[in-house]
């Protein structure tokens, strides 16, 4: 079913004036023109997946363009049937009552009573139901605008012009294989923007990284020029609260610049870049080391010294890995460090590492956490470890003067794998890795990478 969105005349008048003055309708018309839309023909945009970033992304588009109802339709798909437990319902009720604008909106929509009943335990709320009212289950404290929600995947995607992938990388392949069944009769390929930050490892016929955009291409057959990646150093809730942020949309010349213009807002600046896969992989790499940063912070009682030691070692490993993945790795240093920094400050992967170290979570509980969603760094640890442990990728060890798998020069990654995947040591092992007197100066790891021809194009599926 499709939810309805009530028009808030006051806020939409204000928002409409702001967006019009910033050329929102002109940007919309330009994109419609590029897609061959005639008058009366809706530009149909659908988000797939309603995690924090996927929901915020849809809400940003709804706020910016949703009032042009004769020109664009913006919807979001999520699975039906996910119930909201009572403790979350009670917290949601507190959030509603702390925000007068939200409270008034729900009363006008005759939707307030169901939240009262849920708080009392007399009614069960569902995730798709509250999303229609502007509440993301993974981000209860940040109310969004009401969204048009579709729970039938075929209805959501069959004639969509732009599909936004907000799914975790671990679910992307499966869902887009299903989507492909609904696109058999399509004449023109849609545009797909992936927000996912995660990777998989493939070992045959050669070791290589598989990214969400590659999964989508394989599952659907949509040309790679129509598949783009958008990422950047940002926290979803802060972007919706209009904290200044930036991101990059990466992909083909044909679509990345028009989409960067379309997505840009006064507080959300979107740049563009042609290097699709490498930026996508970097988005997954920083999640790996964010988990370890959270562990170190919790185990050392937020010691600034310990965290800085960890940062020195983890960034040297990331730079080392970047030299394996990119022909011109220096171009990625800024975006990678910025994305890493924000994730260490407030990202869910760093939070997960903290909870593990505090004993409030355990690896046995899995990587899908209530109120947070999928912790992408866990699967990324496994993928990077598997890839970098392959003998075919060997590099020369600086002291032993013999070929070793790249992972042997990445002690933090090895330790995270032992904690999260093998589960053979506790989180305390991350501190032991930092305190190991035989560990080389992290500067040396960077110098090794910079002084050798490490680049392995096959890792990203390049010839």
| Catalytic residue annotation | 286
Beta carbons of 387 and 410 less than 8 angstroms apart: no
> Within its chain, how far is the Cα of 227 from the centroid?
16
- Left, alpha or beta for 40 (phi > 0: left; psi -120 to 50: alpha)? left
Beta carbons of 258 and 31 less than 8 angstroms apart: yes
DSSP codes joined into one string, 64-110: HHTT-TTTEEEEEE--S--EEPHHHHHHHHHHHHH-HHHHHHHHHTT
For residue 403, list its beta bridge partners.
396
- CA dihedral sign, ordered 397, 307, 312, 295: positive
Q: How far is the C-alpha of 278 from the C-alpha of 250, rounded, in Å?
A: 9
Name the pairing type of β-strands 208-210 and 200-202.
antiparallel
Rg value, the chain, Cα: 23
Beta carbons of 231 and 247 less than 8 angstroms apart: yes
């Amino acid at each position: 079913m499709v939810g309805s969105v009530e028009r808030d005349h006051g806020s939409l008048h204000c928002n409409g004036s702001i967006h019009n003055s910033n050329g929102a309708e002109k940007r919309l018309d330009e994109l419609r023109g590029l897609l061959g839309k005639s008058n009366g023909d809706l530009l149909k945009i659908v988000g797939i997946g309603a995690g924090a970033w996927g929901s915020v992304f849809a809400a940003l588009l709804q706020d910016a363009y949703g009032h042009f109802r004769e020109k664009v339709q913006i919807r979001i798909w999520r699975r039906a049937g996910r119930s909201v437990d009572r403790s979350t319902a009670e917290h949601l009720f507190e959030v509603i009552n702390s925000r007068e604008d939200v409270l008034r909106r729900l009363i006008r929509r005759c939707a307030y009573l169901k939240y009262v009943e849920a708080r009392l335990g007399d009614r069960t709320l569902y995730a798709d139901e509250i999303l229609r009212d502007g509440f993301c289950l993974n981000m209860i404290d940040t109310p969004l605008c009401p969204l048009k929600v579709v729970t039938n995947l075929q209805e959501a995607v069959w004639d969509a012009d732009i599909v936004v992938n907000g799914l975790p990388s671990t679910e992307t392949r499966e869902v887009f294989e299903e989507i492909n069944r609904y696109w058999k009769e399509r004449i023109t390929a849609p545009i797909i923007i992936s927000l996912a930050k995660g990777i998989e490892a493939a070992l045959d016929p050669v070791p290589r990284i598989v990214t969400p955009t590659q999964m989508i291409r394989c599952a659907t057959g949509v040309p790679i020029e129509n598949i783009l990646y958008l990422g950047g150093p940002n926290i979803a809730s802060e972007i919706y609260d209009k904290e200044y942020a930036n991101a990059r949309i990466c992909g083909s010349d044909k679509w990345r610049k028009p989409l960067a213009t379309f997505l840009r807002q006064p507080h959300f600046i979107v740049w563009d870049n042609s290097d699709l896969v490498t930026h996508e992989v970097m988005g997954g790499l920083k999640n790996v080391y964010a988990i370890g940063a959270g562990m170190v912070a919790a185990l050392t009682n937020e010691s600034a010294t310990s965290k800085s030691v960890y940062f020195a070692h983890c960034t040297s490993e990331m730079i080392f890995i970047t030299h394996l993945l990119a022909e011109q790795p220096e171009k990625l240093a800024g975006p990678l460090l910025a994305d890493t920094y924000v994730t260490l400050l407030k990202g869910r992967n760093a939070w997960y590492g903290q909870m593990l170290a505090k004993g409030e979570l355990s690896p046995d509980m899995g990587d899908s956490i209530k109120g947070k969603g999928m912790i992408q760094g866990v699967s990324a640890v496994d993928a990077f470890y598997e890839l970098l442990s392959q003998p075919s990728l060997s590099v020369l060890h600086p002291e032993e003067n013999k070929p070793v798998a790249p992972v042997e020069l990445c002690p933090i990654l090895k330790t995270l794998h032992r904690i999260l995947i093998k589960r053979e040591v506790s989180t305390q092992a991350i501190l032991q890795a930092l305190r190991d007197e035989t560990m080389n100066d992290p500067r040396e790891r960077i110098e090794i990478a910079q002084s050798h021809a490490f680049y392995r194009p096959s890792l990203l599926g390049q010839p």
